[in-house]
Amino acid sequence: MSTNKTIGTLFLIPAHLGEANYDYIFPSQNSRIISSCTHFIAENIRTARRGIKSLCPSVSIDSLTFVEFNKNTKPKEIPTIMKPLLSGIDMGIISEAGMPCIADPGNLLVEFAHQHSIRVHPLIGPNSILLALIASGFNGQQFTFHGYIPIKEGKRQFIQKIEQYAAHSGYTQIFMETPYRNQKLLDDLLQTLKPKTKLCIACDITLSSEYIHTQTVEKWKTYQPNLHKRPCIFLIQ
């Protein structure tokens, strides 16, 4: 797949956002490219194997080579992980969910690739952050994605800070939380944000249970959806 015979191509392979219709969220080109790869870098190998098998049923999973790369991987291990690319072998990065390098450490691998003239090719797939943004009705030209809400800083202090920034700048503020802590985060948001602040909750994006709704905090207080263990994106404006 690489234009350079001596250096492989690094493919950024999107994963589903939950068990869903693969034909609905992935173009056929993804299956063709994945089928041509034999080496994969995964945040979670078990999840990656299952995802590849769903997209490419004819592929022999046991014939593939996987290496795990996540937040616990030491930077000094990156050259060894990327070595096949420098030998002319194509590799694919697969995130746990959604697009690689967004809210996951894959960007360090991509940085290495650029430093060593390795071609980086992103594949098309679902991005919960952008899907939530365009469905929110909020400012889509100026926005800030904060990733996972910081725990050490204190949730309420963080919420107050980004609310103030949103009011001052007009930028949409986007953030997320671990699914099993979503309900607690919603409680904190409703207790901390001002009544007229607008809050969008985008939950189970691309799934049959998809729920995306925007309203003021004072209206959210009259009804709170069950978000426990459901992947969500939160936006305020």
Q: Which two tokens stand for residue 122?
A: 């992103």
Q: Would you say residue 16 has pLDDT above 70?
A: yes
Share of residues in the chain with pLDDT > 90 (%): 66
Q: Would you say residue 53 has pLDDT above 90?
A: no
How is domain 9-122 classified at the CATH fold level?
Cobalt-precorrin-4 Transmethylase; domain 1 (3.40.1010)
201, 202, 203, 206: CA torsion to nearest 10: 170
Residue with the bigger pLDDT between 1 and 148: it is 148
Q: In angstroms, rounded to a whole number, what is the distance separating the alpha carbons of residues 86 and 109?
A: 13
What pLDDT was estimated at residue 10?
Answer: 97
CATH, domain range 128-236: 3.30.950.10
What pLDDT was estimated at residue 20?
Answer: 65
Domain extents for the chain?
9-122, 128-236
Predicted confidence (pLDDT) per residue in 148-170, tens digit: 888 776 888 999 999 999 999 99
Q: Is the dihedral of CA 185, 188, 190, 194 positive or negative?
A: negative
Place of tokens 């191509």: 9
User: Which region among 49-58, 71-80, 108-117, 205-214 has the lowest average model confidence (pLDDT)?
Assistant: 49-58
Q: In angstroms, rounded to a whole number, what is the distance separating the alpha carbons of residues 191 and 218?
A: 10
Q: Which two tokens stand for residue 111?
A: 């940085």
Helix axes 182-192, 155-169, angle to 10 degrees: 60
Amino acid sitting at position 219: K
Which parts of 116-180 fold into alpha helices (H)? 128-136, 155-169
Asked whether the beta carbons of 88 and 6 are under 8 A apart, the reply is: yes
Q: In angstroms, rounded to a whole number, what is the distance separating the alpha carbons of residues 121 and 37?
A: 13
- Please report the DSSP string for 27-53 in residue order: -HHHHHHHHH--EEEESSHHHHHHHHH
Q: What pTM value is reported for the model?
A: 0.86
Predicted confidence (pLDDT) per residue in 129-153, tens digit: 999 999 999 999 999 999 888 877 6
Residue with the bigger pLDDT between 28 and 222: it is 222
